[in-house]
Structure 1
Amino acid sequence: MFLFNNFPPEIRALIWGFTVGPRTVEVNITGLDRRDRKKAFSLVSTTPIPAPLQICREARNLGLYKQAFSDVGSKLRYIWVNLDIDMISIGKSELWHFHAVAPSIRRLRFQREHQEDFWFVYESKELRRFVNVEEIHVVCQDGWFDWGTAAVDISWPCAEENVLLFDPDEDLTIKLTEVDQMCIDWMEETTRIARQEENEITRQELADRVPL
């Protein structure tokens, strides 16, 4: 019987490489009190360790995944990730927790309410720390329509066409650029109707002044 270990090392490495695919890795902060940032908090993840790393030492030594996020949280913990392809999903965890690793994250997912003051006024500015992010997914707690001005309100660190909005209530996925254009179209249509109504009122007023 021909065994896997009978393959040359370079062939085995190639096969191990084929086992790697993009994942959504949940990375969350627990035990947080926003009013006291010195309070102890912990890094947790519900995402299983990648299967190849659980099989043998050879797969672990190939560097298919790296230990990351050990700088996040008050306890020394890490999560196995491939930051080149994995989507880092932080849920409602606040962005400032990830300052140390922000430059290494290429794909980011989080859940926010755009009209919430803390996000809109303060936290959205933290996105500038994610200087190498290429793709951002936003789960819209308040629905996608309330994010219509987000292209203007927020300085996104990646191309706006790479920002996707997810509306869990409507089970809808839409690009930020599409929402932006829809809002522009809506404003233009609203302005057109308002002008049309204003012109009609003016026309009616002029008609009323004409003697019979």
Structure 2
Amino acid sequence: MATTFLSFSRLPFDIRSQIWALAAYPRLIHVRTTPKPGRFEGHRFAGSDRYFASMIPQAELMHVCQESRQLAPYQKAFFTTLPGDSETRYIWVNFNEDMICLEHHNLYALDPHAADIQRLRFTVPTGREFEDWAETFTRFTSSRFTQFTVLREVHLAISHDMHFWGATAGSYGVCPIDNVRFLDIQTGLMLTKAQIELAEEWESQKGWLVQNMDDIDEELWSFSGYPFIELCLEVE
């Protein structure tokens, strides 16, 4: 089977440009942020006060040919000049499809491209830091996302207390609540807020147990007056 299409260059330009556009796929762009000397991550500073880095390799389209590089939907972002370096470093990003991932929860670190980011994932803290952070985050959720003016999808990476998020309220800026997902880092399980609420109701009513999978419809019918059944319908 042939692995190359030698007549590609003879295709009309409009078709070639569409092929290059369709060849770009969504990626997880893990961005590391480091405050410059004299700064620390907890505060809100301009992008020039941080260093940015990512281990993700450049997208394949950037290495195919000159035309693919010119037409690929990527732009230079997260510019960084390290001490002693004469050249500015950057990350190639397709903000329409790529999800920007932070290994921490300080969203202010992304201020330089807050108006560009459409898909965002950040990591929820643990331990005592979670207790302090969660109270203010859940009370002022919307204000944490005001700078993200085109945000359409949010993932929260969570390592414990997944059930906590079923009881939270508030909006995520302009991002629709149906596009907010809660990712269990340990299991890879990803749920919506409605699904977490459903799981909580099932735990309280049934202790996570299904007595007989063959009779699951009867079990649900027997609890038809409970709120979690209504949530079942919403999730379906």
Per the normalisation by structure 1, the TM-score is 0.72
Distance of aligned partners of 1:98 and 1:10 in 2 relative to their CA distance in 1, 3 Å threshold: same
Q: State the 1:119 CA deviation.
A: 5.0
State which of 28, 36, 40 in structure 2 corresponds to 1:24: 28
Q: State the 1:168 CA deviation.
A: 1.9
Between the aligned partners of 1:46 and 1:98, the Cα distance in structure 2 is: 17
Distance of aligned partners of 1:171 and 1:3 in 2 relative to their CA distance in 1, 3 Å threshold: closer
Report if aligned partners of 1:27, 1:45 keep a CA contact under 8 Å in 2.
yes
* Structure 1 portions without partners, runs of 5+: 190-212
Other structure's SS at 1:100 match: helix
Distance of aligned partners of 1:86 and 1:35 in 2 relative to their CA distance in 1, 3 Å threshold: closer
Q: State the 1:146 CA deviation.
A: 2.2
State which of 53, 60, 69 in structure 1 corresponds to 2:62: 53
Alignment-mate amino acid for residue 132 of structure 2: D
Other structure's SS at 1:53 match: helix
Alignment-mate amino acid for residue 178 of structure 1: Q
Q: Deviations over 1:160-202 (max 9, x none)?
A: 111111112243211122224555787899xxxxxxxxxxxxx
Q: CA RMSD in A?
A: 3.1
Distance of aligned partners of 1:155 and 1:95 in 2 relative to their CA distance in 1, 3 Å threshold: same
| Map of 2:219 onto structure 1 | none
* Structure 2 portions without partners, runs of 5+: 83-87, 207-236
Other structure's SS at 2:24 match: coil
| Map of 2:171 onto structure 1 | 155
Does 2:173 correspond to 1:167? no
Bigger radius of gyration among the two = 1
Distance of aligned partners of 1:128 and 1:177 in 2 relative to their CA distance in 1, 3 Å threshold: farther
Distance of aligned partners of 1:43 and 1:166 in 2 relative to their CA distance in 1, 3 Å threshold: same
Between the aligned partners of 2:49 and 2:151, the Cα distance in structure 1 is: 28
Per the normalisation by structure 2, the TM-score is 0.65
| Map of 2:228 onto structure 1 | none
Distance of aligned partners of 1:138 and 1:93 in 2 relative to their CA distance in 1, 3 Å threshold: closer
Report if aligned partners of 1:31, 1:42 keep a CA contact under 8 Å in 2.
yes
Between the aligned partners of 2:188 and 2:15, the Cα distance in structure 1 is: 43
| Map of 1:97 onto structure 2 | 109
| Map of 2:193 onto structure 1 | 176
Between the aligned partners of 2:188 and 2:16, the Cα distance in structure 1 is: 41
Q: State the 1:116 CA deviation.
A: 3.2
Other structure's SS at 2:100 match: strand
Distance of aligned partners of 1:172 and 1:186 in 2 relative to their CA distance in 1, 3 Å threshold: same
Q: Deviations over 1:145-168 (max 9, x none)?
A: 122223x1x431212111111112
Between the aligned partners of 2:52 and 2:63, the Cα distance in structure 1 is: 21
Alignment-mate amino acid for residue 162 of structure 2: W
| Map of 2:94 onto structure 1 | 82
Percentage of identical aligned residues: 26
Between the aligned partners of 1:169 and 1:83, the Cα distance in structure 2 is: 27
State which of 8, 12, 17 in structure 1 corresponds to 2:12: 8
Q: State the 1:85 CA deviation.
A: 1.2
